[in-house]
Amino acid sequence: MKAEPCPATQPTTTRWHEAARRYNWNSSGAFPVPLDNQPFNMLSVYHNARGFFDAETRHLFEELAINISFALTTFRLERQRQAVMEALQSSEQRDQLRSSTLESVARGLPLPEEERHLTDLIYQSSSEAMGVTDAQNRIITVNPAFTQMTGYTLEEAYGKSPGILKSGKHDDAFFTAMWQQGPWPRPKVC
């Protein structure tokens, strides 16, 4: 490794010269800490001995910077892993809640307040398009995913039959058969 000119002699470091004199820094080393092979941070080390950063010392600090980079990458990957695990757990909990809620609704049982609140949160934040109809098969509410997927806002869909979603490519027999096959793990697109 070719030695760089001493920063203390460079005009760009003039503002640091006073600090170096005040703290008796006679040597300094700056070691890049990359993250994902991109510049991320800098490990700056100062020492009072002149010429402190010989080849062996520089090598040790370069290895330290690599170890810091490895640790930062490991921390980032662990945070990503935890987020995935939390999302998976949350997804499993939503599925369990959805199942118990559907069972309660099917049996005509009232939902406890906490379960109603959680159900509403799931309904509103789900990436699955969902709409609710009344006993006359009129849409009374839709979630944001429904609007995003179909283009229909609640105001546009409210009071209408889910038939507004028909593509015209299937006859009534198709829909009758589809509804007799449910429930499905994923919505069927018509």
29-73 pLDDT per residue, tens: 999 998 877 888 888 899 999 999 999 999 999 999 988 988 888
Q: What is the structure's pLDDT at 185? A: 47
**pLDDT tier for residue 179 given thresholds of 50, 70 and 90:** low
Give the confidence band of 91 by pLDDT, cuts at 50, 70, 90: low
Residues in Cβ contact with 148 at an 8 Å cutoff, skipping those fewer than 6 apart: 129
CATH of 7-79, one of 3.30.450.40, 3.40.190.10, 2.40.160.20, 3.30.70.141: 3.30.450.40
DSSP secondary structure code for residue 144 in this structure:
H
pLDDT score recorded for residue 186: 44
171 or 156, higher pLDDT: 156
Mean pLDDT of 78-102: 68
Mean of all residue pLDDT scores within the chain: 78
Weakest mean pLDDT among 29-33, 67-71, 130-134, 177-181 = 177-181
User: Where do the H-state alpha helices sit in the chain?
Assistant: 14-22, 55-106, 113-125, 144-150, 154-157, 172-181
DSSP per-residue letters across 22-75:
HTT--EEEEEEEEETTEEEEEEEEEESSTT---HHHHHHHHHHHHHHHHHHHHH
Residue 159 has pLDDT above 80, yes or no: yes
Same fold? 7-79, 129-190: yes
Residue ranges covered by each domain of the chain: 7-79, 129-190
User: In sequence order, what are the residues at sequence separation of 6 or more whose Cβ sits closer than 8 angstroms to the Cβ of residue 147?
Assistant: 153, 154
**What is 129-190's CATH topology?**
Beta-Lactamase (3.30.450)
pTM: 0.42
